[in-house]
Amino acid sequence: MTFEVQHSDTKSNARAGLIQTGHGAIETPIFMPVGTLGSVKGVHLHELKDDIKAQIILGNTYHLYLRPGIEVIEAAGGLHKFNGFDRPMLTDSGGFQVFSLADIRKLSPEGAEFRSHIDGSRHFFTPERVMDIERSIGADIMMAFDECPPGTAEYDYAKKSLDLTEQWLDRCILRYRETEPKYGYHQSLFPIVQGCTYKDLRQRAAEKIAALDMDGNAIGGLAVGEPTDVMYEMIEVVNAILPKSKPRYLMGVGTPQNILEGIERGVDMFDCVMPTRNGRNAMIFTWHGTINLRNKKWEMDFTPLDPEGTSYVDTTYTRAYVHHLFKAQELLAMQVASIHNLAFYLELVQTARQHIIAGDFTQWKSTVINELGCRL
């Protein structure tokens, strides 16, 4: 994998870059639709590629390990062959999912024991096992196994958690270096900066990871309960240390405003379930703010979902019609809203990229960011 910074904003840390992988190029800044189980919920493959214009999507190690299972994915020839998506893919290591299973998991220096949320069966993830699973899934970018502490964690807990994450990272890298890709193309490993909301812990983690000189780096453990301004502060602390020559991935973030603030602070890659999860619950994002399509005020609104949107659902469906679909509990409502939101997110980062290249990103951001946060 290679990364080239093509343009840098003169008034902020925003940059436009190009990542090259074995499955193609990725223009940054980029938003990555979340395909937890190998599919982006409610979205066809041709819609992902042609209308949403997804350049890269995510899969999740924890969920894919449980079902369909690694044996099935290996027999298919990797996740690209299994789901038919022939562009780059990234796999989350499952660390966040283990974090979310706090009541049914147990952590130790060796790894994480957890019960399946599906049938209660017991499983054990070690850093080595996670690397083997991610090799088998076949993602172009693999994430290191980590613990994600809650944003409100006390300092002592956050420090012990970081100690554990760094021990696991060393083992992940060792396993990564002693194994080979299974499907004939390079797989990159991204370490994850943890440290909760504590500046010294974040600096320590970032310094360790910067020295490893991996293909790229991630920032995890944010947007998990801490105030937004603290999240932005932690991004600034970490990005002041992480090398500029490597892509920076902010995990699980977030709203359109969060994404623009992250871009301004030097983040290149984003993912979040919000576009599809909120879409399935009738909330759509537009250039003028968010809309709850279940509200009666849209019953007679025959304008497009987003008059400034460019996807086919924006030019085909009206707010009144999709309001009707949600009220009638038609499955098409969730599909249309998900496609619209993902297309909007991809358009948002692509427009940001254009303004970085044009040299007026900071000015453009200041004109749109407040409106993006409005409730219509």
Instruction: Give the pair of three-digit tokens for residue 282.
Output: 């009738």
- The residue annotated as part of the active site, out of 146, 271, 306, 314, is 271
Distances in whole angstroms, Cα of residue 281 to Cα of each of 41, 198, 278: 13, 34, 5
Q: Is 200 among the residues known to form the active site?
A: no
- The residue annotated as part of the active site, out of 9, 51, 92, 268, is 92
Beta strands in the chain (DSSP E): 2-8, 15-21, 24-28, 30-32, 57-60, 89-92, 105-107, 112-115, 122-125, 141-143, 188-190, 192-193, 217-219, 248-250, 269-271, 283-286, 289-292
Q: Is 140 among the residues known to form the active site?
A: no
Q: Are 212 and 182 in contact (CB under 8 A)?
A: no
Helix, strand, coil % over all residues of the chain, rounded to 5:
45, 20, 35
Q: Are 148 and 157 in contact (CB under 8 A)?
A: no
Instruction: Give the pair of three-digit tokens for residue 225.
Output: 């309960």
Catalytic residue annotation = 92, 271
